[in-house]
Structures are given as structure tokens and as C-alpha cells.
């Protein structure tokens, strides 16, 4: 018994010694990493101020919010009467909101598909060019539209599509077509919106996929060439599978914003003309117009919360499906 007791005491002593050493190591690690923690502090503060403190505004959709100068924002928020889901009722009973929701989803589905196919096709073509100088030139030219403001683009579009514009005065007469007022014909604008979206964002997406292509080892292509694979077969069996993870992650991120539209594109390019709302109104422009016309902050906030919650749920669902199929391509 005495021997067993002494052995157990020795074991306890060893364990306590190990714990002391672990604590000393952790203290030393904290001291060594203190400089990194201090470098991280400004970013954490910015994250809290910009992303977490404003979340108190999640109360606005459930209140009949009205701003009072003497109370300020927070005083007005807490003193405004609670109305439950009344602000959401307007969203789900309004025909205009339903149309805007459908437009938002349909446009985003088309954008997600085209933003996947078109940039990958261009990126592969550019990576296969013999002249690297020409490839870089094409990349730069396609990337430039990303830096052009949608306000400037809207005036260029207006110069083309207005009654006295280039298409109406120069192009249509060549085909014997009478004058067309594009800003009162909503059926023309889905194609216009899609074109301007691709023109603006394709160059940016190409850069991402070219960066992914540069990470593929040339040994795979050399092995495929030795096995007699053609260029198309190399693209099909080497390039596309290697791009799968990048494509899936970007698609999942885009799916998370499927209920959010590009406000600048849909508001500026069609000039917010009411005759075009049937094909150009999305949730973002709908909320903006309702806020400007009605001044209902609660309803506008309800629409924003609705977009955020649904988008978050869709991301989790899509990530779950991707994880079941291919866990390496999932976001989390």
C-alpha cells in the first residue's frame, strides 16, 4: 500500500509539473504574441463598430420607427411603438414587392451562371495564349470597366438607347426599323441589364480564375500530353476539375446574395423609369423607392432583414448540399 501511495504521489507530482510548464509556455506565448494582438486590435475595433454595433438596428423592422430630434436615434428607437410583423405584412402582400423579388432571384440566377461560364472560358483562352504580352493586354482591357462608375455607364447607355441616340438614329434605319423608345419598352431591358453586368464584372472574375489557373502544376498537362490528350481533353480532365473548388466557393458566396441586387446597376442604367419597373425593379430599388415615396423606415428595414435572413439560410443549405457531395469544396 505504501508503494502504491508513493507511486500515485509521484504521478500527481508529474501531472502538476506538466500543468505548470504548460501555463508557463502559454504565458510566454502570450507575451511573445502581444505585438500581434496589438496589431489585430484596430481591425477588431473596426469590425465591432461597423458590423456588430449597428445590429441593434434589427429592432427597427419590428417597430413603427419615427425619428425625434430631441431623443436622437437610440431614444427614438426604444420609444417607438412595437408593431410585431406588421412591417413584413406589407412586403408579402404587395404585388410590386412580389415582382421585385422574382426579378431579383431570376437576375441573380442568370448572373451566377454567366459569371461562372464566361470568365472561366475567357481565363482558359488567355492562359493558352502563346504571347503573354497580348494576354496581359486583354486582361487589362477587360478589367478596366470594373473601375467605371455606374453613373458614368448610365449616361453612355442613355446616349445609345434614348430617342435621339446612336441605336435609334444610326443602327435601326440600316435595317428599316422604325424609331423605338427603349425607355418605355420594358421587354428590351433584361438583355441590356445582363450585357452591362457581364461587361462590368467579367474582367474582375477573369483575374480570379487566372490566379487559380496559375496554381495548377504544369506536370499534369505534361503527363496528359504524353498520354496523347488533346488541348480540349486537357481542359476537360485537368483544368476544369482543378478549378472546381474555386468555382464552387465563388458560387456559394454569390448564392448568399441571391436576394440582394446590384442597386447601382438597376437604378442608374434604366434611369429608374417607372415604365420599366416590371423588368428592372429589384428588392433594393423597390425598398429605396418606397422609402423615398413613403418615408417608412420600418418597412425598408424589414425588407433588408428579409433579404439578409433568407440569404443566410440559402448559404447554409447550399453549403450543406456541397459538403455532402464534396466536403473539400464546402465553405465550412
Indicate the DSSP class of residue 237.
I
Q: Does the pLDDT at position 10 exceed 60? A: no
The angle that helices 189-214 and 240-255 make with each other, rounded to 10 degrees, is: 130
Q: How far apart are CA 323 and CA 312, in angstroms?
A: 16
Region 242-256: what's the mean pLDDT? Answer: 85
φ/ψ bin of 262: left (φ > 0), alpha (ψ from -120 to 50), beta (otherwise):
beta
Q: Does the pLDDT at position 15 exceed 60? A: no
Region 211-239: what's the mean pLDDT? Answer: 87
Q: How far apart are CA 211 and CA 209, in angstroms?
A: 5
Global pTM value:
0.78
From the centroid of its chain, how far is CA 80? 33
- Please list, in sequence order, all residues whose beta carbon lies within 8 angstroms of the beta carbon of residue 256, skipping any fewer than 6 positions away: 311, 312, 314, 315
pLDDT at residue 20, as a whole number: 59
Q: How far apart are CA 273 and CA 18, in angstroms?
A: 73
Band (pLDDT 50/70/90 cuts) for residue 7 is very low
Break the chain into its structural domains and give their ranges.
2-61, 88-329
Highest mean pLDDT, choosing among 113-117, 304-308, 323-327: 113-117
Region 255-269: what's the mean pLDDT? Answer: 88
Region 164-169: what's the mean pLDDT? Answer: 81
pLDDT tens-digit map of 178-218: 888 888 889 999 999 999 999 999 999 998 898 888 888 88
Of 285, 324, 119, 260, give the one whose Cα is nearest residue 189: 285
CB distance 306 to 292 below 8 Å: no
CA distances from 281 to 97, 100, 288 (A): 9, 5, 10
Q: Around 118, how many Cα atoms within 13 Å sit in the side-chain half-sphere?
A: 18
Q: How far apart are CA 278 and CA 98, in angstroms?
A: 11
pLDDT at residue 35, as a whole number: 81
Q: What percent of the chain has pLDDT over 90?
A: 17
**What is the torsion angle, in degrees rounded to the nearest 10, for the CA atoms of residue 6, residue 12, residue 13 and residue 19?**
170
Question: How many Cβ atoms are within 10 Å of 330's Cβ, its own excluded?
Answer: 18
CATH topology of domain 88-329: MetI-like fold (1.10.3720)
pLDDT tens-digit map of 28-65: 677 778 888 888 899 999 999 888 888 888 888 888 88
Q: How far apart are CA 261 and CA 281, in angstroms?
A: 10
> What is the pLDDT of the chain when averaged over all its residues?
83
Q: Which of 5-19, 23-37, 240-254, 273-287 has the lowest mean pLDDT?
A: 5-19
CA distances from 202 to 12, 112, 240 (A): 65, 12, 18
Which residues on neighbouring strands pair with residue 252, listed in sequence order?
A: none
CB distance 237 to 261 below 8 Å: no
Q: Does the pLDDT at position 274 exceed 60? A: yes
Indicate the DSSP class of residue 63.
B
CB distance 123 to 130 below 8 Å: no
CB distance 269 to 183 below 8 Å: no
- Please list, in sequence order, all residues whose beta carbon lies within 8 angstroms of the beta carbon of residue 71, skipping any fewer than 6 positions away: 79
Region 74-84: what's the mean pLDDT? Answer: 84
Q: Does the pLDDT at position 291 exceed 60? A: yes
- Please list, in sequence order, all residues whose beta carbon lies within 8 angstroms of the beta carbon of residue 101, skipping any fewer than 6 positions away: 259, 283
| Residue scoring higher pLDDT (33 or 328) | 33
Which residues on neighbouring strands pair with residue 63, listed in sequence order?
A: 82
pLDDT tens-digit map of 123-160: 888 888 777 788 788 888 888 999 999 999 999 999 88
Q: What percent of the chain has pLDDT over 70?
A: 90
Q: Does the pLDDT at position 265 exceed 90? A: yes
pLDDT at residue 200, as a whole number: 93
| Residue scoring higher pLDDT (239 or 10) | 239
Indicate the DSSP class of residue 177.
P
Q: Does the pLDDT at position 107 exceed 80? A: yes
pLDDT at residue 215, as a whole number: 85
Q: Does the pLDDT at position 23 exceed 80? A: no
Amino acid at each position: 500500500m505504501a508503494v502504491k501511495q508513493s507511486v500515485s504521489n509521484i504521478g500527481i507530482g508529474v501531472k502538476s509539473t506538466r500543468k505548470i510548464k504548460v501555463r508557463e509556455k502559454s504565458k510566454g506565448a502570450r507575451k511573445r504574441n502581444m505585438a500581434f494582438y496589438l496589431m489585430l486590435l484596430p481591425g477588431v475595433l473596426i469590425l465591432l463598430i461597423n458590423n456588430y454595433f449597428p445590429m441593434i438596428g434589427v429592432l427597427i423592422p419590428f417597430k413603427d420607427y419615427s425619428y425625434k430630434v430631441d431623443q436622437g436615434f437610440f431614444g427614438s428607437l426604444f420609444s417607438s411603438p412595437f408593431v410585431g410583423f406588421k412591417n413584413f405584412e406589407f412586403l408579402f402582400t404587395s404585388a410590386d414587392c412580389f415582382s421585385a423579388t422574382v426579378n431579383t432571384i431570376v437576375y441573380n440566377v442568370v448572373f451566377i451562371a454567366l459569371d461562372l461560364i464566361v470568365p472561366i472560358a475567357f481565363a482558359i483562352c488567355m492562359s493558352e495564349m502563346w504571347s503573354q504580352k497580348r494576354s496581359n493586354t486583354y486582361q487589362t482591357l477587360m478589367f478596366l470597366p470594373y473601375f467605371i462608375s455606374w453613373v458614368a455607364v448610365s449616361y453612355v447607355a442613355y446616349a445609345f438607347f434614348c430617342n435621339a441616340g446612336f441605336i435609334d438614329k444610326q443602327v435601326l434605319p440600316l435595317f428599316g426599323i422604325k424609331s423605338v423608345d427603349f425607355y418605355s419598352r420594358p421587354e428590351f431591358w433584361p438583355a441590356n441589364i445582363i450585357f452591362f453586368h457581364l461587361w462590368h464584372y467579367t474582367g474582375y472574375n477573369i483575374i480570379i480564375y487566372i490566379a487559380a489557373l496559375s496554381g495548377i502544376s504544369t506536370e499534369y498537362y505534361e503527363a496528359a500530353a504524353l498520354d496523347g490528350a488533346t488541348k480540349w481533353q486537357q481542359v476537360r480532365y485537368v483544368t476544369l476539375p482543378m478549378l472546381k473548388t474555386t468555382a464552387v466557393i465563388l458560387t456559394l458566396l454569390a448564392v448568399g446574395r441571391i436576394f440582394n441586387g446590384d442597386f447601382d446597376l438597376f437604378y442608374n442604367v434604366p434611369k429608374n423609369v417607372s415604365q420599366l419597373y416590371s423588368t428592372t425593379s429589384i428588392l433594393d430599388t423597390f425598398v429605396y423607392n418606397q422609402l423615398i415615396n413613403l418615408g417608412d423606415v420600418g418597412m425598408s428595414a424589414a425588407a433588408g432583414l428579409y433579404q439578409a435572413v433568407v440569404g443566410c439560410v440559402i448559404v447554409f443549405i447550399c453549403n450543406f448540399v456541397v459538403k455532402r457531395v464534396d466536403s473539400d469544396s464546402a465553405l465550412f
